[in-house]
A = this chain, B = another copy of it.
Amino acid sequence: MLSAYEQFQTHIGELHDLLCAISVLKWDARTMMPRGGAQSRGQQLATLTRHAQEHFLSPHFERILHAVEAEVSDENPDSYRVRSVHQTRQAYDLLRRIPLELVTDKAAIEPVAEQVWAEAKAANDFNHFAPFLERQVELARAQAEAIGYDEHPYDALIQEFDPGMTAREVRRIFDKLKTGLLPLLQQITARGNEPEPTLWQQSYPLDAQKAFALDVAQDFGYDLDRGRLDVTAHPFAISFTREDVRITNRYDEHFWPKAFFSTLHETGHALYEQYIDPALTRTALTIDFLGKYPMGGTSSAVHESQSRLWENLIGRSHTFWQVYFPRLQSYFPQQFASTTADQLYRAVNRVQPSLIRVEADEITYNLHIMLRVELELGLLDGSIRVADLPEVWRVKMQEYLGIVPPTDTLGCLQDVHWASGAFGSFASYTLGNILSAQFFLAALQSQPEIEAGLRRGEYHLLLEWLTEHIYEHGRAYPMQELLPRATGHGLTVEPYLAYLHAKFGGLYGL
């Protein structure tokens, strides 16, 4: 006779398999699927999603859940066992509120809307995408109503990415950050940039771009026996258990940093997943029960803290280029023949308002996020209509960054998130930036040898610290608990602002 906990694990393991299968189908839809396949894929995703839901919310599992709650009631509430049960209960109670019809409708539209978005982006044709965005907004609002919220529909949706966050809290944090960020940006703008480097007028063969990026990714710890890199319009990372964690990218023949830093970014996500404790595979502590963030890590913002840490705090650091510039030169000997490591460091850290979020510098990046969150809030509460989005986007870009996109491709069509129905996900990027500095500071303070390692291009001590304090725990601790355990503090913008002031103060001689 199996214990209740064993039955619980078996049932959750199967749910895990179903959710991973859904992720494989989504990965395939974005990377490999011929365009004719989108409709069929939508039906397949809808059916799988419905089966996963029914599996989770079945009366059979409800009985198991009751039994296992009784079985673990005297155990240490901090243990993985108890946390598994507790988090499953939370998800169970939340998911029961969402009508099955809504879940399958959302699943079915996703690959179709993503494909229409890609076509619209390629053709700079917002009207082609608009009806699908309308539908996604409608479904997102229905989802918010089903989940329930106190103040703003956004509060319900952000739970799918960053549990415990609200629109009010995001605004509070963003205001604090803006207060520290804008004076710095003004100082930099007043100082002015050196002339645009001519480096990016050269050609960088794509094979060498990919090889160098994977070279660095593997130095960081990305295991290609359990991963792979493909091409997509919008880069992403996805996990089908820690044994199969894939990343994607896209290349620009001239602007080599585009693909390079985005590979490091996705590598950060991948490292988090690949270094989760194997014992958590197929358990409730690596499941995204809500299906919007199919990763084993604890939340979207914490995940983003790791992508930004490896991309920026490591990959765009002076220390990194002191070590890696000769290697870069070996991949592109002609292109960098008359460049120094310092020049490259400056070239990849140029602060300048620009149109594309994923290519923005570390400072203006956050303004892109603030803009998107503001528009998301408006779309969700009805104060912004889909039809007006291109114009509102232009107005806000002028307001936030002082520039206006000449096309919607370079404007409101640049990101896949809303096509995927991922409303509530953008805030994580800036929250992740803030967290990245907190985690990195804590790592360096608690173990000074990490910094010595970085100066030699050795990352295992840093990876070990991150694994011990973040990665290996999967979803066992929510951000609100993980962060103080790892750093001794709750969320605060100070370390991030200090990092930006030190780095860009140095670069711009402030």
Residues of A within 8 A of B (CB): 13-14, 17-18, 20-21, 24-25, 28, 32-37, 39-41, 43-44, 46-48, 50-51, 55, 223-228, 230, 240-241, 243-244, 246, 281-282
Contact = CB atoms under 8 A, between A and B. Distances in A.
Given A21-B47, A34-B224, A34-B226, 7 more contacts: A17-B43, A21-B44, A32-B32, A33-B244, A36-B225, A36-B244, A51-B55
A373 to B, nearest CB: 34
Contacts of A41: 240, 244
A40 B241 contact: yes
A244 B24 contact: no
A43 B16 CA distance: 10
A240 to B, nearest CB: 6
Contact of A240 (B35, B37, B47): B37
A122 to B, nearest CB: 15
Contacts of A227: 34
B34 A244 contact: yes
A49 to B, nearest CB: 10
Contacts of A34: 224-228, 243-244, 246
Interface centre among A47, A226, A241, A282 (most CB of B within 10 A): A47
26 contacts: A13-B47, A14-B51, A17-B44, A17-B48, A18-B51, A20-B40, A20-B44, A21-B21, A21-B25, A21-B44, A21-B47, A24-B25, A24-B44, A32-B228, A34-B226, A34-B228, A34-B243, A35-B225, A36-B223, A36-B243, A36-B244, A40-B240, A41-B240, A43-B282, A51-B51, A51-B55
B39 A243 contact: yes
Number of copies: 2
A18 B34 CA distance: 19
Ranked nearest first, the 5 interchain pairs of A and B with the lowest CB-CB distance are A37-B244, A17-B47, A36-B226, A40-B241, A36-B243
A464 B48 CA distance: 35
A32 B33 CA distance: 13
Nearest to A43: B17
Contact of A243 (B24, B25, B40, B223): B40
A232 to B, nearest CB: 13
B28 A24 contact: yes
Nearest to A40: B241
A317 to B, nearest CB: 29
A276 to B, nearest CB: 13
A243 B33 CA distance: 10
A28 B246 CA distance: 12
A244 B282 contact: no
Contacts of A14: 47, 50-51
Contacts of A13: 43, 47
A22 to B, nearest CB: 8
Contacts of A223: 36
Contacts of A43: 13, 17, 282
